[in-house]
Amino acid sequence: MTEPLLITPTELRQWHYCPRVVFFDRCTPVKRRETVLMTSGRDKHQSELVRERRRTLSRYDLTEGERRYDVRLTSITLGLNGELDLLIVDGQEAYPVEFKHTQRSPDSGHRLQLCAYALLVEAELGLTCPHGYWHSSRTRQTYTIPFDTRLRNRTLKTTQEVRKFIWREQCPPSTSQAVKCLECELKNFCGDTL
């Protein structure tokens, strides 16, 4: 039997950054080298999760809630699987939380990623996710991301689009922002971009 083709919420974010990053990783032997920045970002991310265990819920505007860390979720129906940093559960409602070590505020790719986790939580745990939280460990700011119909539909549509390209092993268009290619470790494989 053929394995179902599942993608991760992280791949949705990467796809938003540049679809080819996902294509190279999934459909070719080309692997991205981990840069110093990526390694340091991952270490900071882990430290943030350790500190999170000692904090109250005040930054989330919640008074109660059970914290669940590193929640693994899979939905064949959605075509998604992944591991969520943190899920706060309060009764029948749940709030996915993502941490990023960045100075920036969340962009559309981060919103897609968080919403994909929300869809997984709803599908697999039977809870409702009205919104989630995105926290920058650099600026210490926490953003509330509402999961409105528009974002949900965009997340579902993008998931299907990414799966279709991977399934067909079809090279997607490059990013329209050529500036991203200047620092990209895959630029040697994207002959048409520079």
Residues forming the site for ligand SF4 (CB under 6 A): 18, 20-21, 174-175, 180-181, 184, 186-187, 190, 193
Query: Distance (Å, rounded) from C-alpha 158 to C-alpha 149?
Result: 14
Closest CA to 116 of 69, 88, 85, 158: 158
Closest CA to 85 of 109, 125, 51, 128: 51
When the beta carbons of 10 and 142 are compared against ligand SF4, the nearer one is 10
Cβ closest to ligand SF4, residue 18 vs residue 145: 18
> Is the CB of 159 or the CB of 174 nearer to ligand SF4?
174
Q: In the complex, what is the shortest distance from the CB of residue 112 to ligand SF4, in angstroms, rounded to a whole number?
A: 17
CB of 97 to ligand SF4, least distance (A): 28
| Residue 12 C-beta: closest distance to ligand SF4, Å | 16
Q: Edge-to-edge, what's the strand order for the sheet holding 93-100?
A: 66-75, 80-90, 93-100, 131-136, 142-146
